[in-house]
Amino acid sequence: MSSSKGETLNQRIRSEIESRILSGEWPAGHRIPFEHELMAQYGCSRMTVNKVLTTLAENGMIERRRRAGSFVARHHPHLEQVALEIPDIATAVTQRGHRYGFRLLQRVQRAADPDRPEEVALVGNGVLLELRSLHLADGQPLALEYRLVNPSVVPQMLETDFSEYAPGSWLLQHVSWTRGEHRISAVAATADEAAQLQVPTGTACLVIGRQTWIGDQPITWVRQMFLGDSYDLIARFAPGARVS
């Protein structure tokens, strides 16, 4: 696997191990290569390898057993499953034959607001990255996005230029999340939201709120507002499938 531009060796090792686990290449119970094997494979120190494995263990992805090595964790039955895929808006727009566009409206690095539960849940009393942006299709507004990111989990985002590249697309390509939660609602656009979307105040919109985690560590909280007549939410299922 090739490393991404600006990616540290620590991040590369962790990303490649996570990818093998999440793809099923390394199933539950599979033994992770020993530390000396990873050191030889990546040409790095034991400290680097140990730090990666410790992080993966803390996130619940692997189990470290003294003298036996590290193994892919066997998840408990109560773990949550994502009912919907996380879409890449840029890819979805392009696949439908439209020209995708992105506009970053605001980027701020600040302390979490103690009066906003979503911010406290994301970073506690730490610092977060706030991104406001607009997705476009054929040059016309399609969706407003308000995203909060935990930079302690994805520090690379602090150094990434999102002036032309959507943060959601970047996260899907660079971060292997393990758990997600969707919340869907219908709202009427406020005056400010309507102005950005270039529609009358009160226009019906579909809002998708989403949170993602790596193990127990929250990555991002995002609220995406789509014009009601521009977005369909479809779930496909087969007869006899278990519904939860």
Give the mean pLDDT of 15-24: 82
- Dist. CA 84–CA 79, nearest whole Å: 16
Give the global pTM: 0.64
Residue 234: the pLDDT is 53
Distances (CA, A) of 159 to 109, 129, 154: 12, 11, 10
pLDDT digits (tens, 9 = 90+) for 166-221: 999 898 888 877 788 888 888 999 999 999 999 999 999 989 999 988 878 899 99
Domain extents in the chain: 9-72, 89-227
Which of the listed CATH numbers 3.40.50.300, 3.30.1330.20, 1.10.10.10, 1.10.3720.10 matches domain 9-72? Answer: 1.10.10.10
Average pLDDT value for the chain: 83
- Dist. CA 19–CA 147, nearest whole Å: 24
H or E, element range at 170: helix 167-174
Whole-angstrom distance between the N-terminal and C-terminal Cα of the chain?
36
* 131 touches 112 (CB < 8 A): no
Q: pLDDT-based confidence at 59, cuts 50/70/90?
A: confident
pLDDT digits (tens, 9 = 90+) for 112-149: 999 898 899 899 989 999 999 999 989 999 999 999 99
Residue 29: the pLDDT is 86
Residue 84: the pLDDT is 54
Q: pLDDT-based confidence at 233, cuts 50/70/90?
A: low
CATH 3.40.47.10 for domain 89-227, yes or no, is no
Residue tagged 């020209």 (tokens): 99
Three-state secondary-structure class, residue 236? coil
Residue 242: the pLDDT is 42
pLDDT above 80 for 5:
no
